[in-house]
Amino acid sequence: MTEPDTEDTRLQQVVDGIVRIAAGDLSTRIRTSPRRDAVDAVITGINLLAEELNSVYQEFEERVESRTRELQAAHRQMQRMAMSDALTGTANRTALMHEIDAELVASEEGLKRPAILMIDLDAFKDINDSFGHQTGDQVLVEVARRIRWAVRRGDTVARLGGDEFAVLLPETGLTTAMGVAARVQESLAECIRVEEIDVWPRASIGVHSALQGESSEDIMVRADTAMYAAKDAGRSQSKAFEPVMLYARQFRREMAAELREGVGRNELFLAYQPVVELATGRMTGVEALIRWRHPKRGLIMPDDFISIAEETGIILDVGRWVLRAALEQVARWEAQLALEPDFQVRVNLSAMELQRLDLVDHVRRALAETGIAPSRLVIEITESAFVSGGDVEMYSLKSLDALGVGIEIDDFGTGYSSISYLRRLPVHTVKVDRSLISEISADPGQLQFVDAVHGLIQAAGMEAVFEGIETLDQAADLLVLGCRSGQGYYFSRPLEAGQVAAILESGTTLPLVQASAAAPTAG
């Protein structure tokens, strides 16, 4: 009787095969016998199932491998995106800081320490404002290309944001770094042509060669500090970091904090420079000029703190304080005197204030609370603030005009705007910059030029005020040209409110060349 032994062996093979398959060995195959009976049929079914499972598993493994490769490629792409600037294709700040850290580690092993160039384009905002952000972006792409061309193989070019770039120079001393900065300046000296528009890029460059013990943040701060020193020195300048620059930067920080506190402590006050009718010498208005009476530093003029206020955003609080203080003073003059109907107070408004959505509501509320007619207020805005053409700015200008407030462009002749452009804006008056009239008495050509500018302003339906009149000859020449209004030291330096009241009450005509010594010095 051998049949049962044979049958028992095949059954054991089936059990063993199932165990191996269940354990994951899908290559397992159970041998069939020549009998081709029911047991063999079961074995064949098990083998077919193992083969199908093996095929499914292999396909699954291939899919997993493919998806893994896709995920790895996507991860690498995300890493590249996270470490590069989308517009210019250069490295970004994160990548730059990683590279600096790596260079610092290498320098500890005996290699020379790196240097950094901090590059900031001069007056790039004017390019955006004048020609649009699309043109500005094309300029940035070309600037990045030129910087890459100017630096050495192995140097890292990064765009940090806006119009600010940086270059990491591995194992580089200060002398070599200054040479690279000079090549960057040279590369930016040529005009950039963008859709028939000529743009002349200029840059301020700060240079710092790392010292022992400095971190990546220390190096960046020092290069950035040097860049601001270069910007203060004028356009297209390169400056190497010096420790004294940090003190100047710290001083500006302290000044900003003190200014913020000074607004709340009533340390600010206004002086008023008369605007005069040239033909009669009658004062037709004043320009409100801010001053800061610092408790320790004494009198601080606006040139020494307005730029700090703009950099830190404090200009919003300062500007609103000036508007309110000027209107309150006009209210006091109205209560004391019979002001002429055309008497106006001019208040300067920064570009940052013009971009505030609540500007018009603030002006409307200040006028209502002080009881001043909108026609007595003239908002002065510089050329650069006008030419941006943004929706918020246009809304503010048109809403102020509808409110009845006068709008005057300040420092005309120093920026990018034109009369044809200004005609599309609700501008009532143009204040011609002092630089245009400084030589009119000595240069007939300049006199003719000023006459032409005045004619264009009149042809556009606007009035002109000429600022910076310092001599009788200048005043006389402007009067001959038919100019109606002006201001400057020839007529009067900025006055205190009481001095303005005295002139208005007495009907005194200007010039007041001597303008009381008690008046604050103009700035």
pLDDT digits (tens, 9 = 90+) for 140-180: 999 999 999 999 999 999 999 889 999 999 999 999 999 99
State the amino acid at position 270 in one-letter form. L
Cβ 113 vs Cβ 107: under 8 Å = yes
Question: Cβ contacts of residue 268 below 8 Å, gap of 6+?
Answer: 262, 290, 291, 292, 293, 318, 321, 322, 325
Phi, psi of 412, rounded to the nearest 5 degrees: -65, 135
pLDDT, tens only, 108-125? 776 788 999 999 998 787
Q: Is 291 helix (H, G, I), strand (E, B) or coil?
A: strand
Domain boundaries, the chain: 3-78, 93-241, 270-506
What was the pLDDT predicted at 513? 41
Q: Please tell me the distance from the alpha carbon of residue 324 to that of residue 211, in angstroms, as a whole number.
A: 50
User: What integer pLDDT is reported at residue 520 of this predicted model?
Assistant: 40
**Residue 415, pLDDT score:** 56
468: three-class secondary structure by DSSP:
coil
pLDDT tens digits for 246-297? 887 788 888 889 998 998 888 999 999 999 999 999 999 999 999 999 998 8
Q: Give the E-state strand segments of 260-405 in sequence order.
A: 268-277, 283-294, 298-300, 344-349, 377-382
The pLDDT value given to residue 204:
94
pLDDT at 2: 43
Helices (H), 188-241: 216-232
pLDDT over 80 (residue 91): yes
pLDDT at 219 over 60: yes
In contact, 26 and 50? CB cutoff 8 Å: yes
The reported pLDDT for the residue numbered 382 is 79
Band the pLDDT of 385: cuts 50, 70, 90. low
Percentage of residues in the chain having pLDDT higher than 70: 89
Residues 468-484 pLDDT 10s: 999 999 999 999 999 99
Tens digit of pLDDT for each residue in 388-427? 456 777 888 899 999 999 999 888 876 545 566 677 778 8
Alpha carbons 464 and 453: distance in angstroms, whole number: 10
Q: Which sign does the torsion angle of CA 352, 332, 495, 427 carry?
A: positive
Kindly provide the residue ranges of all beta strands, DSSP E only, lying in 90-147, ordered along the sequence: 115-121
CA pair distance 230, 178, nearest whole angstrom: 13
Q: Which two tokens stand for residue 273?
A: 């420079």
The residue ranking higher by pLDDT, 177 or 194, is 177
Q: Bridge partners of 412?
A: 432
pLDDT of residue 199: 79
Mean pLDDT in the chain?
Answer: 85
Three-state SS for 462? coil
**What pLDDT was estimated at residue 73?**
66
| Cβ-contact 289, 329 below 8 angstroms | no
Residue 385's identity, in one-letter code, is: A
Is a pLDDT exceeding 90 seen at residue 25?
no
CA distances from 191 to 139, 142, 226 (A): 10, 11, 26
Find the angle CA(278)-CA(283)-CA(286) to the nearest 5 degrees. Answer: 115
Question: For 232-241, how does the pLDDT look when each residue is reduced to its tens digit (9 = 90+)?
Answer: 887 789 999 9
Q: Is the per-residue pLDDT at 518 higher than 50?
A: no
pLDDT tens digits along 345-381: 999 998 888 888 899 999 999 999 999 999 999 999 8
pLDDT of residue 514: 37
> How many other CB atoms are found less than 10 A from the CB of residue 129?
24
Whole-number pLDDT of residue 239: 94
User: For 432-467, how does the pLDDT look when each residue is reduced to its tens digit (9 = 90+)?
Assistant: 989 899 889 888 889 999 999 899 888 888 999 999
Query: Which tokens belong to 384?
Result: 């650069």
How far apart, in whole angstroms, are the C-alpha atoms of residue 125 and residue 42? 83
Superfamily of domain 93-241: Reverse transcriptase/Diguanylate cyclase domain (3.30.70.270)
User: In this structure, are residues 289 and 339 in contact, taking their beta carbons and an 8 Å threshold?
Assistant: no
Assigned token pair, 190? 């040529």
**Fold identical between 93-241 and 270-506?**
no
- Spell out where 352-403 has E strands: 377-382
Residue 225 vs residue 76, higher pLDDT: 225
Question: What homologous superfamily is domain 270-506 in, according to CATH?
Answer: EAL domain (3.20.20.450)
Q: Which residues, 6 or more positions from 402, have their beta carbon under 8 angstroms from its beta carbon?
A: none
